A and B are shown apart, each in its own frame.
Chain A
């Protein structure tokens, strides 16, 4: 083992002496993480936001809301049956948000103008902060549209007003003056609905209920959906709103059982970009060490190593150990900087550690393959950047997966970078448990071990000792 450590320590010392290599291994990823963190914290727009919708109420009101959401061109709705399942999909990054229509939603809507409003749960992927406001706005819009829909159907309107008046009478929590005012309003509305001929209200389909998806879009103006949530009236305790939004923090394990009433503070965008930065650092290490391995071959130092009284596996292990330890150092450096200076708060240091170790093993394998596939330093650099950039592009190392088209997201499963980011995010903010780590870490370890085995076999063949 002393000989292995001799090779590893020599390689790490060489990296430290190479200022450019050191910069690209340690500081370039930091710049990437900070740069993109700042960009993403400014927001971004996605034409279709993936939303898992769970209707636990199964009332006519809740079904109408789900239909309205499904017909919204801004949303890609995925109906699910279980709340926990929807929250898990958000937490694992498989969908951007989850909307849960709880039991009692329909009856709450009946308390028109005086109840606290029908409550809907909204869970948003913390890395999609930009979409959060937009989703809140869309939900509020659909709440008002559902109220509007009720008044476009005579019978529904009459029924709603009648039930509302009955509930008002029974509700003792409302003061006499307010009760009087609301009762007068409901009575006026009831008389208005009765006075208007039936043909004024035409039967409506769900899509007509909410009107055209983008009523202003056709004229080329900004659609209501595209408007920021701040342009819609914000509900307050005094003002009645047809819908109340209750935020669920998916990063809290308790969210799976019991939703938090107060909207949690999502982690900063740096919690998203620092895992990407770690990946860039690890890629830099893999590339740097693959070039150094090719250098050993082209400059003749590999001959000296091979003539030394050590086994070939010790040479390979020494190179692998140097690469692995450097990736750990780079990742640790970025995590420390992220924690101290950018508010990154890992939810599980143990999971983060395991994820980083697995990522390191994976990229040692990638390094070995790159090293043996390149005849010269130049080709190693070219091939390395080509392969790693491609893997990074499709794996979400450059652009987060959520911004990618569906086909590219599907393609990303072939990139170890996708799994590395998922595993690292699991420890930084996704609050993954060990079972969540099995698949990504299994893939990372598999790629790493296959890379090392294939690389060492090819190296043996190249050096003529096979």
Chain B
């Protein structure tokens, strides 16, 4: 039933909270070296699915297997997971090194390994120089990076990043995106949730669009755009006025329509993930 080559396998999970169905049959698999994005409006069931995936919640039915070994409720299996929650899950009054040391101890790392792992994690997110500073003195972007570093400390094979770039400066965002690419290159499996469509398009090999607790579309970003993005919208301004039309082949259409006309301006709006999302859910991602 479960493919042992998949690092994360979620099979037909369901979860209800009272009368509300939060997850209604979500299935998902993530392989080594793959970055899978979860997209969905607020309340779609992404966070609940992630919580079930890491063992924070128990599914009413269905199952999760990590690394082909077992469910995340097993403590040994949880050692394979690195989670960077959406909230900055750090102790402000402790330094970065103290935070990393504390979590390293929970993962059973001995002192030597903890020190080496903490130094490597800080180096990876560009915070080596600030390791001995208390987290409360960090900027938002630095805290985000440290939040990510903490998830990587114990060298996990599955990394779940919940909105890792929310509210960070462009420099930190670039750094985080580079880091995720590096994780992919190392062969780790990454599950990534974000509100930034352009970011999802750049990073993710595959996207799962979730709404009302179900996966309503799945595929690479280009596949999704082709399948659900709709036609390109072309706007032409000429002496005679402005004309708008939809087409699947804007360049051919333009060549035909602009013949023998004095063109003042042309704009082509190609479909993107935002339009995919809007078409599939009827809502903007930020709703």
Contact = CB atoms under 8 A, between A and B. Distances in A.
A6 B102 CA distance: 6
Interface string A424-466: 0000000000000000000000000000000000000001110
A309 B75 contact: yes
Interface string B73-109: 0011111010101111111011000100011011110
A304 B89 contact: yes
Given A303-B83, A306-B56, A463-B56, A18 B107 contact: no
Contacts of A262: none
B263 interface: no
Given A309-B75, A309-B78, A464-B57, A304 B94 contact: no
B150 interface: yes
Contacts of B105: 2-3, 6
Interface in B6-61: 54-58
Interface in A292-345: 299-301, 303-311
B89 A300 contact: yes
Contacts of A10: 91, 94, 98, 102
Q: Report whether over half of chain A's contact residues are helix, strand or loop; otherwise say mixed.
A: helix
Interface string A199-233: 00000000000000000000000000000000000
Given A17-B94, A465-B57, A309 B89 contact: no
B189 to A, nearest CB: 16
A386 to B, nearest CB: 26
Contacts of B58: 464-465
A3 B103 CA distance: 9
A14 interface: yes
Nearest to B92: A299
B83 A304 contact: yes
A18 B136 CA distance: 12
Given A301-B89, A310-B75, A13 B94 contact: yes
Nearest to A310: B106
Contact of A311 (B56, B75, B150): B75
Interface of A: 2-3, 6-7, 10, 13-14, 17-18, 299-301, 303-311, 463-465
By Cβ-Cβ distance, the 6 closest A-B pairs, closest first, are A300-B87, A6-B105, A300-B89, A17-B93, A308-B106, A309-B79
A268 B41 CA distance: 68
A435 B89 CA distance: 48
Nearest to B79: A309
A309 B108 contact: yes
22 contacts: A10-B91, A13-B94, A14-B91, A14-B94, A17-B93, A299-B88, A299-B89, A300-B87, A301-B89, A301-B90, A304-B85, A305-B106, A306-B56, A307-B78, A308-B78, A308-B106, A308-B107, A309-B76, A309-B108, A464-B56, A464-B58, A465-B57
A202 B102 CA distance: 88
Contacts of A307: 54-56, 78, 81, 83
Nearest to A17: B93
Nearest to A306: B56
Contacts of B107: 308-309
Nearest to B104: A6
Q: Report whether over half of chain B's contact residues are helix, strand or loop; otherwise say mixed.
A: loop
A305 B54 CA distance: 12
Interface of B: 54-58, 75-79, 81, 83, 85-91, 93-94, 98, 102-103, 105-108, 134, 150
Nearest to B151: A304
Contact of B87 (A299, A308, A310): A299
Contacts of B134: 17
B99 to A, nearest CB: 9
Contacts of A3: 105-106, 108
Contact of A304 (B55, B79, B103): B103
Nearest to B136: A17
A311 B108 CA distance: 13
Contacts of A299: 87-89
Most interface-central of B54, B81, B88, B91 (chain A CB within 10 A): B91
Given A6-B102, A17-B93, A299-B87, 16 more contacts: A2-B105, A10-B91, A13-B93, A13-B94, A14-B94, A17-B134, A299-B89, A300-B85, A300-B86, A300-B88, A301-B91, A303-B85, A304-B83, A304-B103, A308-B78, A464-B58
Contacts of B150: 304
A308 B156 CA distance: 11
A13 B105 CA distance: 15
B67 to A, nearest CB: 13
A414 B79 CA distance: 45
Nearest to B106: A308
B108 A2 contact: yes
A301 B85 CA distance: 9
A6 B106 contact: yes
A299 B58 CA distance: 22
Contacts of A311: 75
A18 B254 CA distance: 67
Contact of B89 (A7, A14, A303): A303
